[in-house]
Amino acid sequence: MFTGIIETTGLVSGIEAEGTNLTFRMESALASELKIDQSVSHNGVCLTVTSVADGSYTVTAVDETLRKTNLGQVKPGDRVNLERCMPATGRFDGHIVQGHVDQTGICTGVQDMNGSWLYDFRYDVDAADNVTVEKGSICINGVSLTVFNSEPNQFRVTIIPYTYEHTNFRELKAGDTVNLEFDIVGKYIKKMLAGYR
């Protein structure tokens, strides 16, 4: 389980195809602290560390993951948001994030507000049990954020300077694809209500 509080970004230094899978080599300050079999969130996708060496590590994404997330679009030189699993004794600073992306969404606009940034996103409202709630939580590329202007298939978030500088939001532009994990509580409630109709 994750919290959506990004620890750092990682640089994709290499990608190797293995059948329908892709293995990513990541350079990151976290590499020396990782161990094989550890779970790490990459743009909100939980992946298992398969090797660690010399300031870098590898993870593999299978075909299902590549088709349902933006990892299939990642290229060498791209930056990816990273978060290790929350320790049992850790603080819960974000919200419950599973590392299981529900769907991708599209950034439809970015506005510089001279001290913060407004990002607009659109998603497929008919996919699964996804829902946003005004002032509720959403995970975008692994980042825990608060929704506002919540509508059936779109919403907006505000990015503060610290998040802008320490995540790959600073590179995000209109038209880009992002990973979305909707709030698990909202998904359960929507599913339960649908069962009573």
User: pLDDT tens digits, the chain, 197 residues: what are they?
Assistant: 999 999 999 999 999 999 999 999 999 999 999 999 999 999 999 999 999 998 999 999 999 999 999 999 999 999 999 999 988 888 888 898 999 999 999 999 999 999 999 999 999 987 766 888 899 999 999 999 999 999 989 999 999 999 999 999 999 999 999 999 998 887 777 777 776 55
Say whether both 62 and 144 belong to one domain.
no
93 part of a folded domain? no
Say whether both 78 and 111 belong to one domain.
no
- CA gap 126, 119 in Å, rounded: 22
Q: Phi and psi of 2, rounded to 5°?
A: -120, 175
What are 18's strand-pairing partners? 21
Say whether both 39 and 69 belong to one domain.
yes
94 part of a folded domain? no
Say whether both 108 and 79 belong to one domain.
no
Say whether both 61 and 17 belong to one domain.
yes
Rg of the chain over all Cα atoms, to the nearest angstrom: 17
Say whether both 34 and 76 belong to one domain.
yes
- CA gap 99, 110 in Å, rounded: 25
Beta pairing, strands 117-122 & 79-84: unpaired
Tell me which residue of 87, 108, 127, 85 sits closest to 178, measured CA to CA: 108
Say whether both 113 and 179 belong to one domain.
yes
Say whether both 134 and 70 belong to one domain.
no
The vertex-161 CA angle with 42 and 43, nearest 5°, equals 10
- Please give the residue range of the domain that contains residue 155: 103-195
